[in-house]
Amino acid sequence: MPVTEFLERNARLYPDEVALVELNPEEKDTRRLTWKEFELIESNRFEPYRREITWRVFDEKANRFANMLLSRNIKKGDKVAILMYNCLEWLPIYFGVLKTGAIAVPFNFRYDADEILYCAELAEVDVVVFGFEFIGRIEGIAEKLSKGRLLIYVGDNCPGFAESYRELVADCSSVAPDIKITEDDFGAIYFSSGTTGFPKAILHKHRSLTQAAEMEQKHHNTGRDDIFLCIPPLYHTGAKFHWMGSLVAGSKAVLLKGAKPKTIISAVSSERCTIVWLLVPWAQDILDSIDRGDIKLEDYHLSQWRLMHVGAQPVPPSLIKRWKQVFPNHDYDTNYGLSESTGPGCVHLGMENVRKVGAIGIPGYRWECKIVGEDDKPVEQGKVGELCVKGPGVMTCYYNNPEATAETLKDGWLYTGDMAMQDDEGFIYLVDRKKDVIVSGGENIYPVQIEDFIRTNDKVKDVAVIGLADKRLGEITAAIIEVKEGMELTKEEIDEFCLGLPRYKRPKVVLFEDIPRNATGKIEKPALRKRHGADNLVAKENGIE
């Protein structure tokens, strides 16, 4: 069945129970400020704030948004982009899109103006729904973006180039629209990138969304009494589909703004959270804060916390062993996935398999896995090859990109581009990535984008960007620069030059040396990784070469 039916069931069975809480322990709601006021204020002046909605209100908000879209001639198969930070409006808008039969298209909130426009055109978006924080980026491209598209602003003080969400939905019916949706209808487009760094639009049917929701509930035994703490952004398949375990169970979830150690622990305590999904850096920071005495566990109500799971990047076994020492009663799980497989869970460790920490696990609920060599045939057990997955959550295609689709989907198998091995018990371990994408703190960083930027420096002859193993972030970016003959260049100059990049793309390490290239002119990144000891940290800790 379509995933929207879970929402309608919850509204019918648990109408007055809390579905979602929006929590920001560090600052009050800034959406009632003008853009200029927002730029001038300091976040530490704010008071904490908390909002919540019931299942009935959640469903009614989704229905109003759906009926508004239908009144503006948005129909089945049209695309609606969502560019917002986590808030109570995010999921009702997402489900409102699904209820019309239109396709939900979440945008990464890190996109700059050019990337927003590129992705809107790539996915052939008909509507862009954006939040207060993105006024500046949208304003710069509004003339191009608004051609043939409806721009909807969520917040107060609506800019002149958009229409107000609040005004648009005010008089719309809260009754579900009479639109028949099946699992074979298209439901969502998510974005990914390959080694080139250019986003690809990943098209999924409703079947994928339902599979992800049911799988999450099953993997973590999410029940009616559980409370899930959601910290990562909802545009990310990981955050959204981990939350959908709560949707299937009909249980409460908390959308937390902020990832400081005390912020997380305080939220777990005050909201009585039982399940928390963390990224590796956040788990590391929590443990470090406890070790320093900044967090005293006896000051918090944590006895109900039963499960901590980690995903979005390889997990060092040493981190989980340390976590279990501090929180011995916690269950632990890790999930592997990608947007092409509707997010996490096509491979998962399983809470009962904590002894196998370091592995990404075994095939998830309704999934199959195999590891193949260059000839597409399964490798011998214990040998390294490319991980392939198959199941009801595999994407339909890369939208309008048949060549990339053909490279990635073969006979129903999704070729992940990740190199892995399987032990004698059937547990899968990641060894390295076939692609050059760097995963730092759960975020994908594409070296070519950084390389292209650094090459615009007049003193740079050549540059290669690789990932170096880092205990906290998984990887950090390193820029290896070859300076033009007769010129001098310092790390300080590069650091200043790279202020033109978003903060998360700025190289953390800068090295000066010749760049090795092969006979076809390609940079020999494997040689650079070997030279600089850029081993995969998880593989290294597991003794995998």
Nearest alpha carbon to residue 229 among 25, 17, 82: 25
Supply the pLDDT for residue 504.
Answer: 87
Nearest alpha carbon to residue 129 among 102, 146, 154: 154
Supply the pLDDT for residue 106.
Answer: 97
Quick check: is 114 in a domain?
Answer: yes
Statement to judge: residues 424 and 509 lie in one domain: no
Statement to judge: residues 419 and 478 lie in one domain: no
Statement to judge: residues 21 and 111 lie in one domain: yes
Statement to judge: residues 131 and 160 lie in one domain: yes
Last residue of a domain, one of 247, 279, 301: 247
- Its domain, for residue 463, covers 438-541
For the sheet with 397-398, list strands across it: 163-164, 150-154, 127-131, 79-83, 103-106, 186-193, 199-205, 397-398
Supply the pLDDT for residue 534.
Answer: 67
Statement to judge: residues 80 and 228 lie in one domain: yes
DSSP string, 169-201: HTTS--SPP-----TTSEEEEEEEE-TT--EEE
Listed in sequence order, the residues at least 6 apart from 425 whose beta carbon sits closer than 8 Å to its beta carbon are 356
Quick check: is 294 in a domain?
Answer: no
Q: Are 151 and 83 in contact (CB under 8 A)?
A: no
Statement to judge: residues 417 and 464 lie in one domain: no
Sign of CA pseudo-dihedral 530, 536, 541, 544: negative
Long-range contacts of 154-161 (CB under 8 A, 24+ apart): 154/84, 154/87, 154/89, 154/93, 154/129, 154/130, 155/31, 155/32, 155/131, 156/31, 156/32, 156/33, 156/132, 157/33, 157/34, 157/35, 159/35, 159/135
Quick check: is 124 in a domain?
Answer: yes
Statement to judge: residues 503 and 368 lie in one domain: no
* pLDDT tens per residue across all 545 residues of the chain: 899 999 999 999 999 999 999 998 765 444 444 444 444 433 333 445 889 999 999 999 999 999 999 999 999 999 999 999 999 999 999 999 999 999 999 999 888 899 999 999 999 999 999 999 999 999 999 999 999 999 999 999 999 999 999 999 999 999 999 999 999 999 999 998 543 457 899 999 999 999 999 999 999 999 999 999 999 999 988 899 999 999 999 999 999 998 899 999 999 999 999 999 998 878 888 998 999 899 999 999 999 999 999 876 667 787 888 899 999 999 999 999 999 999 899 999 999 998 998 899 999 999 999 999 989 999 999 998 899 999 999 999 999 999 999 999 999 999 998 888 999 999 999 876 666 778 888 777 878 778 878 988 989 888 899 998 888 888 899 999 999 888 899 999 999 999 999 888 899 999 999 988 754 446 778 788 888 876 655 555 555 54
Nearest alpha carbon to residue 237 among 259, 209, 207, 217: 209
Quick check: is 101 in a domain?
Answer: yes
Statement to judge: residues 427 and 471 lie in one domain: no
Q: Which amino acid, one-letter code, is at 168? A: L
Quick check: is 537 in a domain?
Answer: yes
Measure the CA–CA gap between 273 and 414, rounded to whole angstroms.
Answer: 35
Nearest alpha carbon to residue 319 among 276, 295, 356, 287: 287
The total number of structural domains in the chain stands at 3
Angle, CA 283 vertex, CA 282 and CA 288 arms, to 5°: 95
Statement to judge: residues 451 and 401 lie in one domain: no
Last residue of a domain, one of 247, 280, 311: 247
Statement to judge: residues 472 and 392 lie in one domain: no
CATH number at residue 459: 3.30.300.30
Give bridge partners of residue 390 from the DSSP assignment: 368
State CA 120 to chain mean position distance.
19
CA dist list (Å): 449 to 23, 216, 310, 502, 510: 35, 34, 28, 11, 16
Quick check: is 334 in a domain?
Answer: no
Pairing relationship of beta strands 438-440 and 428-433 according to DSSP bridges:
unpaired
Nearest alpha carbon to residue 149 among 173, 174, 130: 130
Last residue of a domain, one of 230, 247, 264: 247
Supply the pLDDT for residue 213.
Answer: 97
Statement to judge: residues 528 and 420 lie in one domain: no
Quick check: is 302 in a domain?
Answer: no
Measure the CA–CA gap between 54 and 62, rounded to whole angstroms.
Answer: 12
Residue 464, SS3?
Answer: strand
Statement to judge: residues 142 and 237 lie in one domain: yes
- The tokens of 457 are what? 């420096």
Measure the CA–CA gap between 5 and 321, rounded to whole angstroms.
Answer: 40
Q: Are 172 and 71 in contact (CB under 8 A)?
A: yes
Helices 90-100 and 55-71 meet at what angle, rounded to 10? 50
CATH number at residue 413: 2.30.38.10
Task: Tell me, yes or no, if the pTM score tops 0.85.
Answer: no
CATH number at residue 15: 3.40.50.12780
Quick check: is 146 in a domain?
Answer: yes
What are the φ and ψ backbone dihedral angles of 448, each rounded to 5 degrees?
-60, -35
